[in-house]
Amino acid sequence: MAFSVSKQSSIEEKYGSADHGVVSGLYKLWRIFLPRERVTLVLLLGMIVSLAVLEVVSISSIMPFLAVASNPEVIETNRYLNWVYTTLGFESHQSFLLALGIAVACFIIFDNLYKLVVKYVQSRWSQMRGHALSTRLLERYLARPYVFFLNENSSDLSKNVLSEVKQLIGGYLKPLLDFLTKSIQGIGIVALLVAVQPQAAAGVAAGFAVV
């Protein structure tokens, strides 16, 4: 046991703790990006946040439709639905329900199309960063003097340019972006659930805590 603790301490002294390693890795990843790449990353994060907002709005847009479908009289009692009903000049509850269903369907389709666009931009951005990193690393190697190549293994250099960069993108950067996307969406959905049904949100949270 003492050996395990001592070994763990020596590892943390040499490489840092797990939390420190994650933060350090993110900082190093940010530093190797060029200024324009950082700008595009910020824009990509903005798209991810807007996707989360759109996801929450898409989910919340289903609620009025379900409320009207289950009880058309809610059109008269709910001031927001009644305002839309009277402002747009609907003559019957059935026509309002049909229009509301079409609007919700169009919004959901738009949400999924935007999600596809964000996924494509996210994947392309990651792949292009891998291409850029490999190119810059190769340029750095080619700028080294001839003596450098005498002391280095060419297979290791090729591995750094090809497989190591590929592993960085596929095993770290892409999962990190996916994690951020899902986390922001999850936080938005939980916030919506808390705002609409705090009791149900508390029950779900308690259930997950038990599990």
**How many C-beta atoms surround the C-beta of residue 1 within 10 A?**
5
Q: What is the DSSP letter of 178?
A: H
Per DSSP, 33 falls in state S
Amino acid letter at 37? E
Closest CA to 112 of 123, 101, 124, 120: 120
pLDDT for 84 = 84
Tokens linked to 175: 């999962």
**Does residue 17 surpass a pLDDT of 70?**
no
Could you give the CA distance from residue 97 to residue 201 in angstroms, rounded to a whole number? 28
Q: What is the dihedral of CA 17, 22, 27, 32, to 10 degrees?
A: 110
Q: List all residues 6 or more positions away from 140 whose beta carbon is below 8 Å from its beta carbon.
A: none
pLDDT of 40? 92
Q: Whole-number mean pLDDT of the chain?
A: 80
Q: 165: buried, middle or exposed (CB in 10 Å: 19+, 13-18, 0-12)?
A: buried
Contact 169, 180 (CB under 8 A): no
Rounded Cα distance, 101 and 107, in Å: 10
Query: Which residue type sits at 139?
Result: E
pLDDT at 8 over 70: no
Looking at residue 22, what is its pLDDT?
Answer: 65
pLDDT > 90? residue 117: yes
pLDDT digit string, tens, across residues 41-73:
999 999 999 988 888 888 888 888 888 888 888
Q: Above 90 in pLDDT, residue 184?
A: no
